[in-house]
Structure 1
Amino acid sequence: DLLLDDIVLTHSLFLPTERFLQQLHQQYPWGARGGSRQALGCHEAPLAPQELYLLIMKDTSLYHDLEDEILKLHQLVETVELKVADETPPPNKQVKPLFRHFRRIDSCLQTRVAFRGSDEIFCRVYMPDHSYVTIRSRLSASVQDILASVTEKLQYSEEQSTREDALILVTMASSGEKAVLQPSEECVFTTLGINSHLFACTRDTFDSLVPLPEEIQVVPGDTEIHRAEPEEIANHLTAFHWELFRCIHELEFVDYVFHGERGRRETANLELLLQRCSEVQHWVGTELLLCESLGKRAHLLKKLIKIAAICKQNQDMLSFYAIIIGLNNAAISRLRLTWEKLPGKFKNLFRKFENLT
């Protein structure tokens, strides 16, 4: 029932969940369904041998004479499990749970699973002197909770934290742009901008905050991108972004559009995908600008356009649009000699892609 699916998906816009469940129970009472007891019995029957097997295994050290019986029971449990699996009809549509435990790691080769607000992550919070403390916090933690963890790490007393020199939480970008976060704000970890970090300071030291040295210094470009084939890079981007996209539940789009800041804790996976789009844009512009020679820069520009074309062919529109928007950056557009060195075929292809954005 498509209408019922849509109502279940968007019910939070009209009814609280508890009231919605009451309406569902009134509309679809369990007792009115024929054969419900029989269905329940069929569901519980395969569980009986499993429960018996687990209970016996707990006492196996006391009754050594039951080894043969335990082995037979184990075979029975395996037979029942295989039979139940064979009789289970294949689902028409793969159903993913919205919330699954996710351990945040740097390696992008691991299978991605969805974030949930109660997941715990490790985060660095920097001080004005660029020292830092590492805190363990929930993904949905408020600014007030984060500051409490930082204060505990710094061994501030409760009295000191209530004075005028109480800590505030600040986001700082590599450009030097600063913003003070309000104590009630939540899920700040997933909404940090590119090259942004969290700083804890007093209001007196707010004006003296400067970006981290590694954010200001220019580092050499990534030589791997010059050696890798366009197909390899495009396929890697597509696979990685598909893993991120699979973690997003439809409800996150509803919350992001209709609930805004209030629904941020429920849109962490969508926020990460949007942040990834910004990362790819930033990566494209940075790699081009870090090329020292004109020939290498023109070759990389040609390769990036080809990567965008392959991503479009792979239906990875996130990578496609991110690369094209990154190439539309004002700093890239001003590279006149680089664009003149680009073959006419790729110039026309880029104009075609540019019109799509």
Structure 2
Amino acid sequence: MAPSAAARKQAVLSSLLHLLDIYKDALQEEERTFQLIKDFYVLVMRDAPNFPQLEGSVIRLHRLVESAELTDGSATQCSKQVKPLFRHFRRIDSCLQPRVAFRGSDEIFCRVYMPDHSYVTIRSRLSASVSDILTSVSEKLQYSEEQGQREEPLILVAVTSAGDKVLLKPDDGCIFTTLGINSHLFACNREELRSLVPLPEEVQLPPEDSHIHRIEAEDLANQLSAFHWELFSCVHELEFIDYVFHVERGRRETANLELLLQRCSEVQHWVSTQTLLCEGPARRTQLLKKFIKTAAICKQNQDLLSFFAIVMGLDNGAVSRLRVTWEKLPGKCKNLFRKFENLTDPCRNHKSYREMVSRMRPPVIPFIPLILKDLTFLHEGSKTFIDGLVNVEKMHAIAEKVRTVRKYRSNQLRLDTDVSPTHLQNKAYVRQFQVIDNQNLLFELSCKLEPNTQ
């Protein structure tokens, strides 16, 4: 027997309510999608008197749409605070604050440099396009009148610590969270493009970090896991979809996911940096032992993001070539690290890692790049539309993979931490690493510590 009109309408309403319950905040960032929902809401309210049995669902829909409109209204704009990105934290009181999720409409402060390394600080939306950023820069520089006389307008360039330059397109958006760890934005004209060089602090060696030798491995691991849990909790499930599906037309709402991926890279480079800045084979060996022990505790915490990052940092070619340093490691540490290398081995589609994570119960901080790799394989391995119809099997497979993220976060991560001054210092330290991400510079350091004997 075919379902009645009321039953069909109830099924559609239930699906829409479920969508709004889960993705309301994210949908507000998509103006066209939210407008479609509001148009649908108008049709539902027009139809409601004819179907009194739907009253409960109609009232819920009314409340959800109304609350979403209020949240998106002027009341929020008046109270909105400007958020700093976590890698720009340099004040201890800021970096100790709990992480909150970014949205494209959030405003941030950002420095944009000139070829002579002077800079302007602009206030911009996180999702701002390159042209919007350049407009703000021009206003700050009072270029408005001069701009019309210039043959070439300003261009925006991302410059890495290695001196690589990426010319950004005017319609590129959400660029702040896609910058490399030690990359900076430069505004210049095309004639000045070749003259751009990294900031002096990016090409100078930082001093050896003494804090890493004072902090205990257990506290270091717990602080890493706590911070990465905060970052992971900020990532909306839709960000995984947007990251994979919207590569061609630009990602709009993946800020929190991009920051988490950058953090993984940052920890990896931090491990390599600290090892290579440590002078003396004996001290370096002690540091290697501490990193291996930290990785073990992170694995015990089920923080596989930190675990992978530490192991990959120690596997960096500039570190792994330090034969004298590694030979001084106790056999027990060497064997433990070999086991860790087997767990992170990508052979057979990361079989060892997948078996390990399948035995874990929430909460889990997974190795995010592998989730994105799986989603990319599902997306690119089959068509989204077949004969003009949605490939439902593909959508189900992608949904199932994204649901694993929800499962990993179904319980809260709870770690034993205190609130002593030392604890707060360690917390601040872990959240503002200074790293070298220039591989050539890392190899130079490595060769100075242990020159090639050939």
TM class, shorter-chain normalised? 0.7 to 0.9
Partner in structure 2 of residue 253 of structure 1: 240
Partner in structure 1 of residue 231 of structure 2: 244
Partner in structure 2 of residue 94 of structure 1: none
- Percent identity between the aligned chains? 64
Partner in structure 1 of residue 8 of structure 2: none
Per-residue deviation, 1:312: 0.8
Alignment of 1:30-41 (within 5 A): 32=51, 34=53, 36=55
Partner in structure 2 of residue 84 of structure 1: none
Distance in 2 (CA, whole Å) between partners of 1:175 and 1:33 is 67
Q: Quote the RMSD (CA, aligned, Å).
A: 3.2
Per-residue deviation, 1:209: 1.0
Distance in 2 (CA, whole Å) between partners of 1:244 and 1:132 is 29
SS of the equivalent of 1:174 reads: coil
Distance 1:127 1:299, change over 3 A: same
Contact 1:277–1:318 (CA under 8 A) maintained in structure 2: yes
1:117 aligns with 2:112: no
1:286 aligns with 2:305: no
- RCO higher in structure (CA 8 A, sep ≥6): 2
Partner in structure 2 of residue 87 of structure 1: none
TM norm structure 1: 0.75
Alignment of 1:299-310 (within 5 A): 299-310=286-297
Alignment of 1:304-319 (within 5 A): 304-319=291-306
Alignment of 1:140-219 (within 5 A): 140-158=127-145, 160=147, 163-219=150-206
Distance 1:27 1:314, change over 3 A: farther
The one of 269, 274, 289 equivalent to 2:261 is 274
Distance 1:25 1:340, change over 3 A: farther
Distance in 1 (CA, whole Å) between partners of 2:171 and 2:141 is 22
Per-residue deviation, 1:36: 3.4
Per-residue deviation, 1:22: 6.4
Contact 2:48–2:54 (CA under 8 A) maintained in structure 1: no
Distance 1:5 1:295, change over 3 A: farther
Q: Write the letter of the residue equivalent to 1:174.
A: S
Alignment of 1:23-172 (within 5 A): 32=51, 34=53, 36=55, 103-104=83-84, 106=89, 107-158=94-145, 160=147, 163-172=150-159
Distance in 1 (CA, whole Å) between partners of 2:164 and 2:17 is 42
SS of the equivalent of 2:95 reads: coil
SS of the equivalent of 1:170 reads: strand
Larger Rg: 1
Distance in 2 (CA, whole Å) between partners of 1:262 and 1:163 is 31
Per-residue deviation, 1:207: 0.7
Distance in 2 (CA, whole Å) between partners of 1:170 and 1:201 is 8
Q: Write the letter of the residue equivalent to 2:180.
A: G
Deviations 1:202-235 (A, max 9, x none): 1111111111111111111221111110000000
Distance in 2 (CA, whole Å) between partners of 1:102 and 1:310 is 36
Contact 1:126–1:132 (CA under 8 A) maintained in structure 2: yes
Distance in 2 (CA, whole Å) between partners of 1:5 and 1:226 is 54
Q: Write the letter of the residue equivalent to 1:36.
A: E
Distance in 2 (CA, whole Å) between partners of 1:132 and 1:6 is 47
Count of residues in correspondence between the two structures:
297
Distance 1:172 1:136, change over 3 A: same
Contact 2:222–2:298 (CA under 8 A) maintained in structure 1: yes
Distance 1:24 1:289, change over 3 A: same
Distance in 2 (CA, whole Å) between partners of 1:116 and 1:7 is 21
Deviations 1:291-325 (A, max 9, x none): 01111111101110111111111011111111111
Distance 1:283 1:40, change over 3 A: same
Contact 1:102–1:112 (CA under 8 A) maintained in structure 2: no
Please, which runs of 5 or more residues in structure 1 have no aligned partner? 45-99
Per-residue deviation, 1:157: 2.8
Per-residue deviation, 1:103: 2.6
Distance in 1 (CA, whole Å) between partners of 2:37 and 2:203 is 52
Per-residue deviation, 1:23: 6.9
Partner in structure 1 of residue 341 of structure 2: 354
Please, which runs of 5 or more residues in structure 2 have no aligned partner? 1-10, 64-79, 345-454
Per-residue deviation, 1:162: 6.8
Distance in 2 (CA, whole Å) between partners of 1:115 and 1:253 is 15
Contact 1:102–1:114 (CA under 8 A) maintained in structure 2: no
The one of 318, 321, 325 equivalent to 2:312 is 325
SS of the equivalent of 2:150 reads: coil
Partner in structure 2 of residue 50 of structure 1: none
Distance in 2 (CA, whole Å) between partners of 1:239 and 1:230 is 14
Distance 1:38 1:316, change over 3 A: closer
Contact 2:107–2:125 (CA under 8 A) maintained in structure 1: yes
SS of the equivalent of 1:194 reads: coil
Per-residue deviation, 1:281: 0.7
Contact 1:101–1:114 (CA under 8 A) maintained in structure 2: no
